[in-house]
Amino acid sequence: MAKKSAPSNDSVFRYPLLLEPDGNAAYQDSLTELIRSQLASILNLAIPIANNKELKIDSFKLLRDRETIYGIFSREAEKGQAESAGDRAGHQAKTGSQDIKNAALYEPRIEFIKAQLESLLRVVNLEKGGNTVDVDGFRLKNLKDWLVPSACDPIEVFGYAGARCDADCIFCYNRGNPPSLALGVLRKSASGELQEMMTRLNYFSPVGGQSLFPSMGSIYEVLMHPGILTVLRKLREKTPAVFRIATNGTLLTPRRVSQLAALQPVYLYLSLNSASPSRRHKLMKDRNPGVAINALPLLRKKGIPYATVIVPWPFDSLPEMLEDLSSTVAYADQHDSHIIQVNLPGYSKYFSSEKLYDLDEVWPATVARVRELREKTSTPIVVMPGMAEENYYEERKNRPKIIGLVKNSPAARAGLRKGDEILELSGLTVGSRPQARHLLAMIQESKAATAKVTVKREGRSLNLSVNLRDFSYPYSESIDRHMGIVMMGTGFQLGYLEKLRGIIDTCQAKRVLFLSSTLVRHSFEQALVESPLFASGEVDIDIQVPRNNFFGGNIFMGDLLVVQDFIDCIKEHLEKGSKRPDLIVIPSSPFNLGNWKRDLTGRVYLDIEREVGIPVELLDCETIYD
């Protein structure tokens, strides 16, 4: 019987080998390099054990030469990792293959195969039928073996359409990406991208909760892709899940909006930035700004809910930006935007080596204006990151306070108001914002017809009954998870402290260095001081906040820190003469992109411990997107 061959599209999952004489080899001697490379790859995935004790290996000797010690993990040895996103993109364009760094973030076993093959090919020639063959890449044999558990969000397929953008925003974050960022843009031909999306679709299984491992880079404008509708239509045959599409709006013509309406449920994050045609043109180089601006009433008409996204870039001046923010918010409110999302601006050192504006002036001024606007706007306005607003204005963190209600939502219709603080949900006491969000989501998922909400309003407690079936546009059951209630971000989950206590107890640590972030530090400190888990005081917890040297500029988000930032912070801390901790704990969120705990450069977190010589544990926590 003829052997069944793999579907032809599976060949898109192929990767290049780096076989130049030097390549990424640390040692000139090929056998030494073969061993080093194999050991490095293995030690990034597994820990050797002797007599039931874990061993920290960092070098090796050859049995034929028992004198020389060879390092395994020196940065020099890992220089192949420093290949820039640009070099990778060039190589990739030439070979039509996948980006190994993107893939390795999510699936390091591919990098393992690559490293082993490259090392072996320095020692052996491969032969076919008596002839030497030159190999310059490899592909994954059976893609079914590379499926991973997945929530099967449709963006896992159509996100690969977003490799380009037809706008050129003066604040585009993609322009300021560090060269060693692993999340390169997957530049292939449009047909190559379509082939990849169709292959992913083939293995996309919402019923089984599985999909092909991701290897997503930065996502630009997916609606620009010539095959996007084909992909979305095929996806709709497989899943009823919401298509959450971020778009700059340049292509939201009446025809395109109708096409998207036929694919509901669809939710758009529309980067409007300004409702003024001239300012939108100045900010985004949009030659036809009317299309995006006119899209808001069109989306309303076609029943597609959308978030209006605004980056308040202080251009030409802060007062000018604030004025425009007010009019853009009013415009979005007038056209029943689901929410208005104000993304506080930032830039890396690669974006500009000069200071472009004073963040300590722009952020507070923007947040202050948003708070004024909330008073006269029915649409909820959220600031991203929400913890910035909380740190500026809320002495007490993590309160389940309502900052807005989606228009026509069950909560709005039941009479809940901005400023209400949630005390109870369906009889359960609410102590924090994450808890409120969790309970709201549970109530909604339970398909209950009504819910009881107790709130504190103007010092008095008030009981309200919410009819969960009473809503209309822009609220949608498939989009909203919290009855239409909007709060100041996700907040700090108190459960993280239980995990921290567990780690400390397991490691029997007495002096802990906890590496937090500028935004989360205040909430973490409040939770720590109030927690009975740490009341005895027998553990000394020192909190430090690493600087973001990797992105530089004015970027300070904790989730954008990389391994080297943590190492620099720890070394600096120790050099100041601080007591040496016996344990370092780091939130896992900067390593959350895949399941393999790699940072944004693809470097494994284990390198921190190797470099500073103190045990490092990750505290499992979610990425705080808002």
Q: Binding of ligand SF4 at residue 281 (CB under 6 A)?
A: no
- The conformation of residue 519, written as its DSSP 8-state character, comes to T
Place of tokens 């031909």: 189
CB of 496 to ligand SF4, least distance (A): 32
Pick the closer one to ligand SF4 by CB: 286 or 565. 286
Q: Binding of ligand SF4 at residue 266 (CB under 6 A)?
A: no
Which residues in 191-220 contact ligand SF4 (CB under 6 A)? 220
**Dist. CA 138–CA 600, nearest whole Å:** 24
CB of 166 to ligand SF4, least distance (A): 8
CB of 554 to ligand SF4, least distance (A): 17
Extract long-range pairs of 443-447: CB within 8 Å, 24+ residues apart: 443/468, 443/483, 444/468, 444/477, 444/480, 444/481, 444/482, 444/483, 445/481
CB 25, CB 122: distance < 8 Å: yes
CB of 217 to ligand SF4, least distance (A): 12
Pick the closer one to ligand SF4 by CB: 257 or 520. 257
Pick the closer one to ligand SF4 by CB: 221 or 390. 221
Q: Binding of ligand SF4 at residue 533 (CB under 6 A)?
A: no
Counting residues that bind ligand SF4 (by CB under 6 A) gives 11
HSE (CB half, 13 Å, CA atoms) of 399?
17
Q: Binding of ligand SF4 at residue 316 (CB under 6 A)?
A: no
Tell me the residue ranges of DSSP E strands in 430-520: 450-457, 460-467, 485-487, 511-515
Segment near ligand SF4 (CB under 6 A), from 14-22, 137-145, 161-169, 233-241? 161-169
Residue ranges of the alpha helices (H) in 384-494? 386-393, 410-413, 433-445
Residue 168 to residues 164, 280, 342, Cα–Cα distance (Å):
11, 11, 19
Binding letters toward ligand SF4, positions 227-256, x by CB under 6 A: ---------------------x--------
Segment near ligand SF4 (CB under 6 A), from 160-168, 205-213, 299-307, 453-461? 160-168
Sign of CA dihedral 37, 40, 44, 46: positive
The values of phi and psi at residue 383, to 5°, are -100, 135
CB 543, CB 581: distance < 8 Å: no
Binding letters toward ligand SF4, positions 586-605, x by CB under 6 A: --------------------
Q: Binding of ligand SF4 at residue 614 (CB under 6 A)?
A: no
Q: Binding of ligand SF4 at residue 566 (CB under 6 A)?
A: no
CB of 174 to ligand SF4, least distance (A): 5
Binding letters toward ligand SF4, positions 166-185, x by CB under 6 A: -xxx--x-x-----------
Q: Which of 17, 165, 321, 561 binds ligand SF4 (CB under 6 A)?
A: 165
CB of 288 to ligand SF4, least distance (A): 14
Segment near ligand SF4 (CB under 6 A), from 100-108, 121-129, 164-172, 482-490? 164-172
Cα 105 to chain centroid distance, Å, stands at 12
Q: What region does 508 belong to: left with phi over 0, alpha with psi -120 to 50, or beta?
A: left
CB of 423 to ligand SF4, least distance (A): 40
Q: If you count them, how many residues does the chain have?
A: 626
Q: Binding of ligand SF4 at residue 283 (CB under 6 A)?
A: no
Q: Binding of ligand SF4 at residue 315 (CB under 6 A)?
A: no
CB of 273 to ligand SF4, least distance (A): 8
CB 583, CB 507: distance < 8 Å: yes
CB of 251 to ligand SF4, least distance (A): 11
Q: What region does 96 belong to: left with phi over 0, alpha with psi -120 to 50, or beta?
A: left
Segment near ligand SF4 (CB under 6 A), from 146-154, 165-173, 274-282, 570-578? 165-173
Number of Cβ atoms within 10 Å of the Cβ of 603? 23
CB of 183 to ligand SF4, least distance (A): 13
**Dist. CA 440–CA 461, nearest whole Å:** 19
Reading the block at residue 358, the tokens are 């004073």
Pick the closer one to ligand SF4 by CB: 220 or 496. 220
Pick the closer one to ligand SF4 by CB: 58 or 168. 168
The values of phi and psi at residue 285, to 5°, are 55, 35
Interface residues toward ligand SF4, by CB under 6 A = 165, 167-169, 172, 174, 220-221, 248, 271, 284
